[in-house]
Amino acid sequence: MNKPIKKIAIVGPESTGKSTISKQLAKHYRVPWVPEYARYYCAALTTDCTLQDETNMFIGQVALEESVLAVAETDFIICDTTFLTVKIWSDEMLGETPQVVLDALVQKPYDFYVLLDIDLPWADDPLRDFPQMREHFMEVWHKELKSLNANYAVVGGIENRLQNVINAIDAFLKHS
């Protein structure tokens, strides 16, 4: 029987380098990469986001992960964020989270999270909204990860960010 494939998630507030770093990590480790479904979904939205949209983003993210896991032939995959982001944004923007997301948080855990620090300069993007709230969202990420009893490491650095993340993942892999 094959051992389960680990899921390593790159998470954090907006404009911390998640997409860039996660792609670089997949290339570095030669493992599959799961993109952030919500970016594609939100780019196509023409109205304000609703709870149904948040549910759709959750379903899309899970489907992407499951499709990558179904064909992966590696010990782990790299995920550009997780559906925990749906909970964080739903709570912040809509005041509640779809029940299906809350249920899945404990049913579909990730093995290791790299929480990227907010030490990078803000980069404008049409899908980013809150440059002034990065500290707030960093605190929210800590709170949410702790509430899941998640295994995570905070990683920063501007010049050596990728290497710092690789070091954190290598340490996790060595001890898992």
Residue 162 sits in a domain whose CATH number is 3.40.50.300
At residue 1, the pLDDT reads: 44
Establish if 117 belongs to a structural domain. Answer: yes
Establish if 169 belongs to a structural domain. Answer: yes
Establish if 102 belongs to a structural domain. Answer: yes
Render each residue's pLDDT in the chain as its tens digit; 176 residues: 467 899 999 999 988 999 999 999 999 999 999 999 988 888 887 888 899 999 999 999 999 999 999 999 999 999 999 999 999 989 998 999 999 999 999 898 999 999 999 998 776 555 546 667 789 999 999 999 999 999 999 999 989 999 999 999 999 999 98
At residue 127, the pLDDT reads: 54
At residue 122, the pLDDT reads: 73
Three-class secondary structure of residue 154 per DSSP: strand
What residues have CB less than 8 Å from 96, skipping those under 6 apart?
A: 51, 90
According to DSSP, residue 4 is labeled P
Q: What span, in angstroms and rounded, lies between the C-alpha atoms of 2 and 63?
A: 21
Establish if 144 belongs to a structural domain. Answer: yes
Establish if 127 belongs to a structural domain. Answer: yes
Establish if 1 belongs to a structural domain. Answer: no
Structural domains of the chain, count: 1
At residue 46, the pLDDT reads: 84
Domain that holds residue 151: 6-174
At residue 36, the pLDDT reads: 92
Establish if 40 belongs to a structural domain. Answer: yes
Establish if 49 belongs to a structural domain. Answer: yes
pTM (two decimals):
0.92
